[in-house]
Each structure stands twice: as structure tokens, then as C-alpha cells.
Amino acid sequence: MNENTLKLDNPLSQLGFETDSLITPGQMGAICARAGIGKTSFLVQIGLYAMARGQKVLHISLDEPVTKINIWYREMFNLMAPKNGITMINQAWDTIISNRLIMTLKLDGFSVPRLEERLADLIEQDIFKPDTLVVDGFPFEKCDRCLLKDLKILVEKMGMNVWFTVNTHRHEPPDQDGYPVQLTGMSDLFNTVIQLISEKKIVDLQILKGQVDSEKAASLFIDTDTMLISA
């Protein structure tokens, strides 16, 4: 934890999980939705809330350039700030920006040993020691359980938690356990699974796994004008 923190009201704390971050070190979480529903903006908000708590966030993208991801963060923060009573937005942004590093990797070159090597490089040289990884664009359809298992071992070893986006398709019904088919045979590796469902211009959050107290949980949705998670 470092001193670069900011007070942001995190709606995810109302979801009835053990922690505001929904997962703890060594755990994996997944955000599932069809294309265009708002997975990346959700992931970015998870990243921003973690950054505000003073956690170091490493955003790994497998398809978007650094500049574009940076814009995502900045735009979401600009929308969040006024709702949290922040007037000097640039100053507030400067407080937390050093808590984030973006890394874009080539899809074909992605492997756990390679990631481990990069992480070791960052940590050993005291450049950046991530607490949270957010991975956007991970190819679940092409990956096998082994790769994900190795990744889980890595994050457990390094004491990080990791979030993924999972791209689902309209025509594919969920598997027998109720998870998107992309997670079939792998859902046990995830501690939290959240699905974003779009119906009649509203995007609702459906918790598939990880909730401790569903009775006390508030129902959250995504404001489609701003893409902000709202209660």
C-alpha cells in the first residue's frame, strides 16, 4: 500500500462480498459479457477503485494500444470524479496515476513464463510491483485450462489478484453450471464471476459466483450514458 490514495465511493462494496475489491490476493475474477456491453469500462473501473485504494494496478491488454487504454482510464475517472465531490480533477488524477502501469502484449506471444519474466523485471528493478492485474482481451476460446492454471499459480505466488474480461456470444447458452461456455472446465479457477446482461437499454450485473451475502446486496447496474457502475 502506498500514500497515493483517493477517496472514491465504490458501489461494488454494496454487492455483498467479503471485500470491496471482490477478490483477495491470489484469487481470480471474471467479467463476462457480449461485445459492446461494457466489459472494458467495468474492468477500468475496477482498476480505478483499486488505484484509489493505493493498490498498484497492472493493466494488460492483448489488443488495444497504450494510448487508447490510457484514454479509457482518464475518461472514466473524469466521469467518476464529480460524483465523488472532486473538483480539482487533474490534481486528483495525478495522485493516483502512478499506481497504474499499462502493458500491451501480442496475443500470439502471450505466455505465462513470458509474463512472469516481465513482472520479475518490473519488480526487481523496483519499477512497479503490482497488487492487481487486469487483463483485457484474453482469448478464452483459444486457451486451455493449463495456461489459466499456470497463471493462477503465478498470481498466488506473487500475491496478486487478477481480473479478466470474457467475451461471450448471444447464440451460446450457458453451460450446465450456469457459466458462459468460455469458462467451461475452468470456472473452478475463478473465485468471482460477474455477468453483464443488457436488456432494454439497461445493463444489469448478475453475480454468478463469489457473493457471500446475497440478501444484503444491492442490485447494481451500468448507467449506459456514462458506463459507470451505479447503485
| Binding interface with another protein (CB under 8 A) | 59, 65-67, 69-70, 88-91, 94, 97-98, 101-106, 109, 118, 121-122, 124-128
Residue closer to another protein, measured from CB, 142 or 201? 142
Residue closer to another protein, measured from CB, 55 or 182? 55
> What is the closest distance, in whole angstroms, from the C-beta atom of residue 40 to another protein in the complex?
15
Query: Which neighbouring-strand residues pair with 207?
Result: 194
> What is the closest distance, in whole angstroms, from the C-beta atom of residue 145 to another protein in the complex?
25
Residue closer to another protein, measured from CB, 118 or 149? 118
Residue closer to another protein, measured from CB, 122 or 181? 122
Of 138, 9, 129, 147, the C-alpha closest to 58 is 129
Of 161, 205, 152, 155, the C-alpha closest to 47 is 161
Cβ atoms of 163 and 29 closer than 8 Å = yes
Residue closer to another protein, measured from CB, 126 or 215? 126
> What is the closest distance, in whole angstroms, from the C-beta atom of residue 45 to another protein in the complex?
18
DSSP readout, 157-197? HHT-EEEEEEEE-TTPPP-TTSS-GGGTTTGGG-SEEEEEE
Those residues with Cβ within 8 angstroms of residue 165's Cβ, 6 or more apart along the chain or in another chain: 30, 31, 32, 33, 39, 40, 42, 43, 135, 136, 137, 138
DSSP state of 219: P
